Structure 1
Amino acid sequence: MNQPKSPASLRIASYNIRKARGLDQRRNPSRILQVINELQADVVALQEADLRLGARPAAISRGLIERETDFAVAPIARNDVGLGWHGNAVLVRKGISVGKVTHLDLPGLEPRGAVHLALSGPFEVDLIAAHLGLIRRHRVQQFEAILKAVASDRPTVVAGDFNEWSTNRGMEPLAGRFEVHVPGLSFHARRQIASLDRIALSAGLQLRHAGVEEGPLARRASDHLPIWGDIALA
């Protein structure tokens, strides 16, 4: 990653880390953190950040994050062992403060959720970090649920694994309120064929630059490649 961050912008990244299990089938949290450090992001939305069993312990320990990055874990988890909510976690760089955090239950057959955070950095913005379902009609319902949580007067970013293979279908609920941006082909890390991971911006925000981290380490660390976008006030 060698793209410098745009001035007066906030770099928001999204990364499905597959519970820190790489394409070599090894669970390697440090490798994931190396990739995250390369993004030079201010905020990182993670999907599959917690394991699915029992109390859903973190795939990457808080101590390791503190030792190997300049990020803090946003206060999302409702227990002492996980990082997030339905696997959604958010890392914030020092200098970015987190205000109100809201947990969103999303409809559908699979247990899915999103987290809504009020952030303050170079400017105030809300972030909704989400990992949507595998079935399109459920994703449409999930977008509708997310929209109900969005305040009309707050600039808002929705970032995450949208799980949508189409380039022009499945995100109809966002039309008129959000502009969906596709930083690039983020899946599969070995052979990039789909833009499952996306960023959507409400009115009042603009995307200055965006991309996909395609370095050799990212291609081994997870089945998804991380995306990023430099976001500024319009």
Structure 2
Amino acid sequence: KQLHHYQLSLASYNIRNAKGLDEKISYERIAEVIKKLDTDAIAIQEIDSCTNRSEGLFVLEELAKRTGMYPIYAPAIEFDGGKYGIGILCKQKPLSIKHYPLPGEEEKRTLIVAEFDHYIFSCTHLSLTEKDRLSSAKIIYDILKSYKKPVFIGGDWNDTPDSKFIAEMNQNFYLLTDTASHTFPASLPETTIDYIAALKQDKTRINVSKAEVYDAEIESDHRPVKVIIDYDY
């Protein structure tokens, strides 16, 4: 197979269901941040679908309409008359989408895997319980290693760069984001819990040309992370 060169931009953003640090719910504000990030795909966490608190609205659809991107949703739990989960917004319609359950003692978790022409992008929001996160690292690797295309994963992993869990992830993934730049809390970030990583694959060479934490200080309780990468596939 002849190798082709690609450039790809990816982001991850825990939007807290569009509720800002000023307690205002604004899909407009979150959509503005997503548009400014201007990535091929963005992993999003904490999204309501048709709940009472969101007045029956499908929040990812609201963001998709405002950004002109394609929505992929995976509910993790039943919540407040509707569902609550994670999603991906992407510029290109995916070729296939799969959902997988992940452990969550305090709240069930999920993984979305979306396949595109020349890459795979997955999204997750991991448990607050360390045992669950460590089991998830193995489950995620077992699922993603079966893909031949370059594989990327973004999400709120609820753990810090010096943790046992990140050490576990580092066995099979390269962290692409700048872990020295903090993501939480948004107003004055003190810690990093949001990441984008690439699966270690024999044939894929990945070069990170840019990694940043975007300065969104009030729109959610997290700041989004973004990477621009080049690779041959």
Q: State the shift of 1:8 in Å.
A: 3.9
Partners of 2:74 and 2:110 within 8 A in 1: no
- Residue 42 of structure 2 corresponds to 44
1:194 to 184, 191, 208: 191
* Cα deviation code 1:197-231 (max 9, x no counterpart): 011112313322110111xxx21100000111112
Is 1:213 the counterpart of 2:209? The answer is: no
Partners of 1:12 and 1:230 within 8 A in 2: yes
- Per the normalisation by structure 2, the TM-score is 0.82
- Report the residue type matching 1:92 in the other structure: C
> SS of 1:159's equivalent?
strand
- Residue 3 of structure 1 corresponds to none
Cα pair distance change 1:64/1:191, threshold 3 Å: closer
Q: Give, in whole Å, the separation in 1 of the partners of 2:155 and 2:119.
A: 16
Q: Give, in whole Å, the separation in 1 of the partners of 2:100 and 2:223.
A: 25
Partners of 2:119 and 2:149 within 8 A in 1: yes
Cα pair distance change 1:174/1:47, threshold 3 Å: same
- Report the residue type matching 1:211 in the other structure: E
Q: State the shift of 1:34 in Å.
A: 0.7
Bigger Cα displacement from structure 2, 99-108 vs 169-178: 169-178
- Residue 143 of structure 2 corresponds to 149
- Residue 132 of structure 1 corresponds to 126
Q: State the shift of 1:37 in Å.
A: 0.7
Following superposition of structure 1 onto structure 2, how do residues 61-210 of structure 1 map, counting pairs within 5 Å? 62-63=61-62, 65-66=64-65, 68-74=66-72, 76=74, 87-93=85-91, 96-109=92-105, 110-120=107-117, 124-150=118-144, 151=146, 153-183=148-178, 184-202=181-199, 203=201, 204=204, 205-210=206-211
Cα pair distance change 1:58/1:170, threshold 3 Å: farther
Q: Give, in whole Å, the separation in 2 of the partners of 1:75 and 1:89.
A: 4
Cα pair distance change 1:52/1:162, threshold 3 Å: farther
Partners of 2:15 and 2:220 within 8 A in 1: yes
Q: State the shift of 1:154 in Å.
A: 2.7
- Report the residue type matching 1:88 in the other structure: I
Uncovered stretches (5+) of structure 1, i.e. residues with no partner: 1-6, 79-84
> SS of 2:135's equivalent?
helix
Q: State the shift of 1:33 in Å.
A: 0.4
Q: Give, in whole Å, the separation in 1 of the partners of 2:183 and 2:51.
A: 27
Q: How many residues align?
A: 213
Cα pair distance change 1:172/1:42, threshold 3 Å: same
Bigger Cα displacement from structure 2, 164-173 vs 221-230: 164-173
Is 1:10 the counterpart of 2:8? The answer is: yes
Uncovered stretches (5+) of structure 2, i.e. residues with no partner: 77-82
Q: Give, in whole Å, the separation in 2 of the partners of 1:59 and 1:39.
A: 22
Q: Give, in whole Å, the separation in 1 of the partners of 2:132 and 2:75.
A: 24
- Report the residue type matching 2:133 in the other structure: R
Cα pair distance change 1:43/1:197, threshold 3 Å: same
Cα pair distance change 1:114/1:52, threshold 3 Å: farther
- Report the residue type matching 2:175 in the other structure: V
> SS of 1:13's equivalent?
strand
Is 1:28 the counterpart of 2:20? The answer is: no
> SS of 1:193's equivalent?
coil
Higher strand share: 2
Q: Give, in whole Å, the separation in 1 of the partners of 2:197 and 2:62.
A: 31
- Residue 233 of structure 1 corresponds to 231
> SS of 2:31's equivalent?
helix
> SS of 1:139's equivalent?
helix
